[in-house]
Amino acid sequence: MEYDEGFLIQRIHDMKLQATAALVKQQMTFHCAQCNTVLADSVGVCGEIGVNSADYIMCLRVTNDVAISERIELGHKEEMANCIFSSLNCQVCCSTVGKIIHSASSHLANIRCLFLLHKANINCYILNNSSMVKASTLKFDLKPLRDSINEVRQEFEAQLDQMSQLKSRLADSSVTSKLDK
């Protein structure tokens, strides 16, 4: 969907988008595909995962319009075997929009307690170009945290080197000015 002064002017249906680093950095909101209620935003996205042939967006947080079902379920198929989870529902239209895993075997331990929004039930509103796309057309492959930490470390080390050089120049100039007196 595209908005012009608050009015919907276009919806992009089957556009395939790859989440390059630029797309991942784009700000977007995630909406219920049934009623367009805002469920989350891209700030809380940790990546995506495929579980039982379904793709999910992993989120650290969701809006108050996402309800965790009180019904606890036990997974019986493939990766979800022996997992305990609850469904995530849109509070406005009551449709199921994902799940949250409470207990899982070691191979799913890293996604316990994350909100898993089912991409098939989610639309994404991309803020900078005012378009709505199906979440299933996007990839949220974020680079590993270690790579990001290494980049930040390199930037800090470069700044520290710059500051050390400036400090040494200042010390040299103050010594020179004292000798001139």
Q: Please write the tens of the pLDDT for every residue from 59-68.
A: 999 999 999 9
* pLDDT at site 173: 77
Which of 1-15, 44-58, 100-114 is most confident? Answer: 100-114
Higher pLDDT, 17 or 111: 111
SS (H, E, C) the chain: CEEECCEEEECCCCCCCCCCHHHHHCCEEEEECCCCCEEEEHHHEEEEEEECCEEEEEECCCCCCEEEEEEEEECCCHHHCCCEEEEEEECCCCCEEEEEEEECCHHHHHHCCCEEEEHHHEEEEECCCCEEEEHHHCCCCCCCHHHHHHHHHHHHHHHHHHHHHHHHHHHHHHHHHHHHC
Statement: residue 8 has pLDDT above 60: no
* pLDDT at site 177: 67
> Band of the pLDDT at 180, cuts 50, 70, 90?
low
User: What percent of the chain has a predicted confidence (pLDDT) above 90?
Assistant: 33
* pLDDT at site 93: 95
* pLDDT at site 25: 63
Statement: residue 24 has pLDDT above 90: no
Mean pLDDT, rounded, of the chain: 79
